[in-house]
Amino acid sequence: MPNHPAPITVIRLGYRVGRDPRINTHLGLVSRALGANKFLVSGDKNHKMFETIKQVTKTFGGEFSTNHLDAPLKWIRKYKSEQKDGGKNATVVHLTMYGEDYRKVIKEIPRDKPLAIVVGGAKVPASIYRMADYNVSVGNQPHSEVAALALFLDKLQDGKSIDRKFSNPKLEIIPDLERKNVIDHEKKEEE
């Protein structure tokens, strides 16, 4: 059972088609696999990248939504205020190598409230630092936003992010030390 029952949204800022195609796909797939519900991308539009993620959801199950964001700052502002009106303050976390240790910050994040995780791109507007409730680092060495997102999502869920079940998969992979072990649910039904 994942330990952040409220919805998690991952927002990727300033995506550039020419430079980031696979990094961005990986961010989307990590969001899905490790317990987020939604993946929003600002910057360049790229339907192919969203298609890849949708195809994975279709094949491996569960519910996961993706969308392009034209005005991410506006979206974040609205997200914070809307949730506050409903009496359930959302939390906005900004992942940056300049922030505070994620292991410290995660303890303060309410588990029962919606959470948006903002992942920077090439140039992050300074206002993001102010709009975020927490500027959070996963180490203070340059490495990867994919790795930072994964470690953050997993820690948030007490190391159990991969235990989430995905409903109605077509394919299901069974952990196996020796070989590839895949159940094809569609084939089963046909037989």
Residues in touch with a second copy (CB under 8 A): 19-20, 22-23, 26-27, 29-30, 32-34, 56, 60, 97-101, 103, 129, 134-135, 137-144, 146-151, 154-155, 159, 161-162, 166, 172-182
Residues 24 and 45 sit within 8 Å (Cβ to Cβ):
no
Which residues have C-beta within 8 Å of that of residue 104, sequence separation ≥ 6? none
Residues 168 and 63 sit within 8 Å (Cβ to Cβ):
no
| Cα-based angle 68, 73, 76 (whole degrees, multiple of 5) | 85
Nearer to a second copy, 85 or 141 (CB): 141
For residue 104, the number of C-alpha atoms closer than 13 Å in the C-beta half-sphere is 8
Nearer to a second copy, 71 or 182 (CB): 182
As measured in angstroms, the least distance from the Cβ of 94 to a second copy is: 10
**Within the chain, how many helices (H) and strands (E) appear?**
7, 8
As measured in angstroms, the least distance from the Cβ of 97 to a second copy is: 6
Q: Which of 94, 133, 125 is nearest to 14 (CA)?
A: 125
As measured in angstroms, the least distance from the Cβ of 2 to a second copy is: 12
Nearer to a second copy, 76 or 148 (CB): 148
As measured in angstroms, the least distance from the Cβ of 51 to a second copy is: 14
As measured in angstroms, the least distance from the Cβ of 155 to a second copy is: 8
Nearer to a second copy, 71 or 183 (CB): 183
Residues 124 and 85 sit within 8 Å (Cβ to Cβ):
no
Nearer to a second copy, 125 or 139 (CB): 139
Question: Is 187 strand, coil or helix?
Answer: helix
